[in-house]
Amino acid sequence: MSHEQQLDPGFIRQLMGELEGALTEREVNGRMYVVGGAALALQYPDDHDIRVTTDVDAVFWPDTEVREEAARLAERHSLSPTWLNSNARPFIPDGRGDVRAHAEGFVVALADPKVLVAMKLMTAATRAAGRSTPPDRTS
């Protein structure tokens, strides 16, 4: 069973804790960089205008193990299978989403407000141009 569920800061923290615990139990070292509404909700939990979201946008590594544990959490908590996703990856500024650096254990980091504003502006400009992903930034 799955459905769109509102994720408030407390529930997001709970999910991140369960995810971290499951990966640690499996002795998986990795990283996650959280962006979007979840990052805002966690940084501003008392702001009622931004404190809930329906998913957690992030880049993470190792991909397979994180997705496996996220699927288990989705089943356990009746969440959408895409409650944790990397759909925002194309909008993350260069270098910010590099999560392959060595980490002891599983480390979760939040995008800072300046990065979140830059991502929102890039998303708006991309959509205004009729595109689904931003132009290639390497050219």
Listed by start position, the domains of the chain span 9-128
Confidence grade of residue 2 (pLDDT, cut at 50, 70, 90): very low
What are the tokens at 82? 């895409």
Model pLDDT for residues 8-24, shown as the tens digit of each residue:
999 999 999 999 999 99
pLDDT tier at 5 (50, 70, 90 boundaries)?
confident
Give the sign of the dihedral formed by CA 122, CA 123, CA 128, CA 130: positive
CA distance 58 to 34: 4
70, amino acid identity: A
Q: In the chain, pLDDT over 70 holds for what percent of residues?
A: 83
Residue 17 is encoded by which pair of tokens?
């804790």
Is the model's pLDDT at 95 over the cut of 70? no
Residue 40 CB partners (closer than 8 Å, separation 6+): 47, 50, 51, 53, 116
Question: Please, are residues 139 and 69 in contact by the beta-carbon 8 Å criterion?
Answer: no
| Residue with token string 């908590």 | 77
